Structure 1
Amino acid sequence: MIGISYDDVAILERFSGRSEITFPLLSDPESETIVAYNVLNEEGTGRLEGIPRPGTFILDEDGVIRAKLFLEGYRDRHTTDALIEAAGAFD
């Protein structure tokens, strides 16, 4: 599991420390990966314009997104069971 954000490395380090995140957070300041995977939120306006959709994406061994999971709140996280179920859908 990894996280990808357009935030710079220093911001991600502070965030992961405060949030006790134990998986890697990768910085994508130009949103190249976010755009390549077509997960850019184009519906936002003002401050939210261009912010990637917060969610969980399950990729196969070829790097193709096979499942996208979203929750109402951007701070909410999926349960392990939900991830296992989504991953099992394309075995």
Structure 2
Amino acid sequence: MSLQVGDKAPDFTLPDQSGAPVKLSERWGEKVVVLYFYPKDNTRGCTAEACSFRDGYESFTDAGAEVIGISSDTVDSHEKFAGRHELPFTLLSDRDRAVRKQYGATTLGVVPGRITFVIDRTGTVRHAFSSMTNIGGHVDDALAVVKRLRDESE
């Protein structure tokens, strides 16, 4: 991973599953952002991860966070994936993998990795977790960090 805890998160604008542009800095100004990169819609591991974020979504929103998933799949693919699995959060299409490269979200420098970042309201990376196989770790660790950030701000 090239992006580390304490780094400023690179800003970007990408289309969501409905084709609307999403500018990251507009999101982190409002809430803590849980930004997770995943390899591909409708694969076993990626579906499990998305459904884990879906199942914990209310806990994230209650703690003041927004969940955003990113892969290089098309807007249309994301729309179908989100609909099929009733995903209540935003999926972004990074077709040319430029944002993935900015965040260093690759394995061995070329394979799309499974990496989750927690970005605070100032745009600072507060947590990074990378594992292709520990799906639950992405959700559990991110939620723990989000709750800690909420408690620190109260």
Q: Report the TM-score when normalising by structure 1.
A: 0.68
Higher relative helix content? 2
Q: In 1, are the aligned partners of 2:69 and 2:92 still within 8 Å (CA)?
A: yes
Asked whether the equivalents of residues 105 and 115 of structure 2 are also in contact (C-alpha less than 8 Å), the reply is no
Match of 2:86 among 7, 17, 20: 20
Match for residue 85 of structure 1? 144
Residue aligning to 2:117: 57
Q: Distance in 1 between matches of 2:111 and 2:131?
A: 18
Structure 1 residue 59, shift from structure 2 partner: 1.3
Q: State how 1:7-46 maps to structure 2 within 5 Å.
A: 7-42=73-108
Aligned residues: 81
Q: Which runs of 4+ in 1 moved over 4 A?
A: none
Q: Unaligned regions of 5+ residues in structure 1, if any?
A: 44-48
Q: CA deviation at 1:73?
A: 3.1
Is the partner of 2:106 in helix, strand or coil? coil
Name the amino acid aligned to 2:143.
Answer: I
Query: What is the RMSD computed on CA atoms of the aligned residues?
Result: 2.4
Q: Distance in 2 between matches of 1:85 and 1:67?
A: 10
- Partner Cα separation in structure 2 for residue 55 and residue 68 of structure 1: 7
TM-score, scaled relative to structure 2: 0.44
Matched with 1:5 is 71
Q: Which runs of 5+ in 2 are unaligned?
A: 1-66
Q: Distance in 2 between matches of 1:40 and 1:64?
A: 20
Shift of 1:50: 2.5
Structure 1 residues 20 and 70, CA gap change in structure 2 (3 angstroms) = farther
Q: C-alpha distance in 1, partners of 2:104/2:130?
A: 15
Q: In 2, distance between residues paired with 1:64 and 1:32?
A: 20
